[in-house]
Amino acid sequence: MFRGVCSVGYAQEMAFAAVVGESESERVLGTSGYFLDPETGLADVAYMVDPEWHGVGLGTLLQARTAEYARDHGVPALRSAPSRPTLKSVRRLPRPTRWEGSP
């Protein structure tokens, strides 16, 4: 069970983490990741940013890196449940970036 959670396929799925500190005591500040839906060809994406780091652009940075990686690996569009922070960050992404709200 944990193998699927811990391993990443790099084409159909990817995850990023923003960390600070030395490796033995690093702290995760935020994460992003996507999973490609083989039926639709869209990637479901999610983000998490530590509340202490809200408002400094970390979510935007994670979103931009995730979108860039997905685009470079042939993912046609990202899909997420709409939220105010996500929609605000999407407006800052370089064009062309296709973004779809969840059905």
Domain contains 7: yes
Domain contains 102: no
Domain contains 98: no
Question: 59 or 89: whose pLDDT is higher?
Answer: 59
Amino acid symbol at 50: D
Nearest to 53 by CA among 85, 93, 99, 90: 85
Question: 81 or 30: whose pLDDT is higher?
Answer: 30
Report the predicted TM-score, pTM, of the whole model to 2 decimal places. Answer: 0.70
Domain contains 86: yes
Question: 41 or 61: whose pLDDT is higher?
Answer: 61
CATH number at 32 reads 3.40.630.30
Domain contains 103: no
Mean pLDDT calculated for residue range 72-88: 74
- Return d(Cα 27, Cα 53) in angstroms, integer: 12
Read off the tokens for 25. Answer: 């005591």
- Return d(Cα 32, Cα 39) in angstroms, integer: 22
Q: What is the pLDDT of residues 2-19, one digit of tens each?
A: 444 455 567 788 899 999
- Return d(Cα 3, Cα 40) in angstroms, integer: 25
Can you give the residue range of the structural domain that contains 30? 2-93
As for how many domains the chain has, the answer is 1
On the question of pLDDT at 95 being above 60, the answer is: no
Question: 31 or 81: whose pLDDT is higher?
Answer: 31
Predicted pLDDT of residue 67:
87
On the question of pLDDT at 82 being above 80, the answer is: no
Is the bond preceding residue 94 a cis peptide, omega within 30 degrees?
A: no
On the question of pLDDT at 46 being above 50, the answer is: yes
